Amino acid sequence: MLRIRVYRNGRVTNEKVKVDQLGWLAKDQNATIWVDLDSPDPETIEALRDQLGFHKLAVEDVLGARQRPKLETYGDRFFLNAYATEVRAVREDGEPREACEDGESRKNAGAASPSALGRGPDEDAGEDPDGDPGQAADLRLRTTEVSAFITDNMVVVVPGGGGFDAEEVLTRADQNADICHRGSGFLVYSLLDYLVDRQLEAAEALDGSADDLGSLLFARRPQDIQLRSFRLHKELTVLRRVLVPMREVLSAVLRHASAPQNAQGAVNTELLPYFQDVYDHVLRAVDWTESARDMVNNVLQTYLTIQSNNMNIIMKKVTSWAAIVAVPTAITGFYGMNVPYPGVGTQWGVAVAVVVMLALSVLLYTVFKRKNWL
């Protein structure tokens, strides 16, 4: 499915435009055009290329898979590649739990927030005496590749799957009527703002999950904390691969926006504060991701240290009891030899042996208890 929306003077028009009309419409500098597809269909993209003259390398990137986030320049045109992210809570069997939703900043289902993932603002996963903190849901990160061809007055968006919500991008564009000047800058801003907000929410959710993971260290019944740590570290690594290149993308956009010759281009200087705000969100998401990775590493190292300490405590207890048991074993073994030692075969000999065994056992128990080995 192909959707074409035309803006004039910052307002959406009711113009019905077909693909074969985009070529002449793109030459109308009073029109700003938004085009989005459901999926990277080769025939449709080839038709758009014939009308709009996209660079063949950019088209290859769209039809290819898993390109890194980037912003490339082809003359007076740009090619953007980025990722929309979504975090879902899943049970141990891999089935997704109810969709996570952040009602304050997003309307679409599936957006992750700490509250929706089972942890309220005043709740801690490790402090519920009746629940089982080890059974908290894991988080899974879903990424959807989003490519965009950008010209002075046109944005063509090609998502790589169903994880991209073009309706929300257009809603944001409609809400930014105060920056809907000539050119496609406000559409580029709405697209980047949407993508970065999704990434920021994913970073926030994974950071909250890392905090919850830390509280499981001292829960009564921690379960599979190593497995959950490795899974969360994997998701954070994937998110970091998405976020770190986005800093370069926003830096390139800011450099282009601040250039004097681009005042009337695809990104004009009036949008500079808006792109700066998006860039700040990217930096915050990267910081959250890095702190969450550090937290997971610390949790894993602390868990291994706790396990090692517990093993040492167990070994001390086992060694102490073995020493206590060794005393009567040695005495009975000594008198068990077929040698006529004093007291063998007499009642007083048995009494002396029992008293010695009890006295030495009590003495060893007292010594080990004072040393906190028992």
CA distance 195 to 215: 31
pLDDT band at 190 (very low <50, low <70, confident <90, very high): very high
Structure tokens at 212: 């919850």
Q: How far apart are CA 275 and CA 112, in angstroms?
A: 24
Within 10 angstroms of residue 324's Cβ, the number of other Cβ atoms is: 19
Question: Which pLDDT tens digit goes with each residue over 274-310?
Answer: 899 999 999 999 999 999 999 899 888 888 888 888 8
3-state secondary structure 30-91: CEEEEEEECCCCHHHHHHHHHHHCCCHHHHHHHHCCCCCCEEEEECCEEEEEEEEEEEEEEC
Domain map (residue ranges) of the chain: 2-308, 311-370
What fold is seen in the domain 2-308?
A: Beta Polymerase; domain 2 (3.30.460)
Candidate from 13-27, 294-308, 343-357 with smallest mean pLDDT: 343-357
Length of the chain: 374
What pLDDT score was predicted for residue 102? 40
HSE of 142 in the Cβ direction (CA atoms, 13 Å)? 17
Of 56-60, 61-65, 125-129, 318-322, the least confident:
125-129
Q: How many CA atoms lie within 13 A of 372 on its CB side?
A: 2
**DSSP code of 272?**
H
pLDDT band per the 50, 70, 90 thresholds, residue 80 = very high
pLDDT of residue 214: 78
Chain-centre distance for alpha carbon 313: 36
166-176 average pLDDT score: 89
Termini Cα distance of the chain: 72
Q: What pLDDT does 119 receive?
A: 33
Residues 353-372 have a mean pLDDT of 83
Residues 343-366: what's their mean pLDDT?
A: 80
DSSP assignment letter at 96: B
* pLDDT of amino acid 263: 43
Alpha-carbon dihedral 247, 276, 146, 1, rounded to 10 degrees: 180
In this structure, how many other beta carbons lie within 10 angstroms of the beta carbon of residue 325? Answer: 12
Question: Given this model, what pLDDT does residue 131 score?
Answer: 43
Q: What percent of the chain has pLDDT over 90?
A: 26
Q: What is the mean pLDDT of the segment spanning 158-185? A: 84
Question: 111 pLDDT band (50/70/90 cuts)?
Answer: very low
Quote the CA–CA distance of 238 and 141 in Å, as a whole number: 8
Greater pLDDT, 289 or 259 = 289
pLDDT of residue 41: 83
| pLDDT attached to residue 137 | 61
pLDDT, mean over the chain: 79
E strands, the chain, in order: 2-8, 11-12, 31-37, 70-74, 77-90, 138-150, 154-159
**Helix (H, G, I), strand (E, B), or coil: what is residue 259?**
coil
Average pLDDT over residues 227-251: 91
pTM over 0.85: no
Residue predicted with more confidence, 264 or 358: 358
For the chain, what is the radius of gyration of the CA atoms?
A: 33
